[in-house]
Amino acid sequence: MSLRHWSPTRWLATLVGAIVIMTVATVAAMRLSGFTPDTTVDSEVVHQVALRFVDVGGGEVHVFEQSTDSHIATLEPAEDSFIRGVMRSMARERRSRDIDMTPPFRLVSYADGSMVIEDPSVGTYINLVAFGQTNIGSFNTLLNKAVAATR
């Protein structure tokens, strides 16, 4: 079959397939070579707070600022889904290493507007800027309440 008998749909499907194969091959080559992207934040820390998340049952989660043990928020069932999703992921990582939820997480905001939630007990973090300003706003509310509790 000659190339001029290919329909536009077939051309498009072939092009998309080639792009997918090239992307997978590039990522695989980078992984195998040991490349790790630099995901650190190179900005000045504005605020840093230690937070504990306590599941009290019935889907309710209480959030405490660690240094003063102040209750700063209650995450109600079926609300705050972004915070719940992030913390569920971080809790899963702790469970896989037999670490309970007692050690606090660290929430850090930077001068460039980025925000990171860290788990010092595991050594992992999530740069929240990748999820957009609305989702950063959810954590920013916790940050503001925690900063206020320490004053």
Per-residue pLDDT of 55-107, as tens digits, reads 888 888 999 999 999 999 999 888 888 898 899 899 999 999 999 888 999 99
Q: How confident is the model at residue 81, as a pLDDT? A: 84
Per-residue pLDDT of 3-49, as tens digits, reads 566 777 887 888 888 888 888 888 777 777 766 555 555 679 999 99
Q: How confident is the model at residue 132, as a pLDDT? A: 84
Q: Looking at residues 100-126, what average pLDDT do you find?
A: 91
Vertex 66: Cα angle to 63 and 72 (nearest 5): 35
Q: How confident is the model at residue 104, as a pLDDT? A: 94
Q: How confident is the model at residue 4, as a pLDDT? A: 64
Pair of tokens at residue 105: 């997480």
Parse the chain into domains and list their residue ranges: 3-32, 45-149
Q: How confident is the model at residue 98, as a pLDDT? A: 92
Say how far apart CA 140 and CA 110 lie, in whole Å.
11
DSSP string, 68-86: TTEEEEEE-TTS-HHHHHH
DSSP string, the chain: --GGG--HHHHHHHHHHHHHHHHHHHHHHHHHTT--------S-EEEEEEEEEEEEETTEEEEEETTTTEEEEEE-TTS-HHHHHHHHHHHHHHHHTT--S-SPEEEEEETTS-EEEEETTTTEEEEGGGG-HHHHHHHHHHHHHHHHHT-
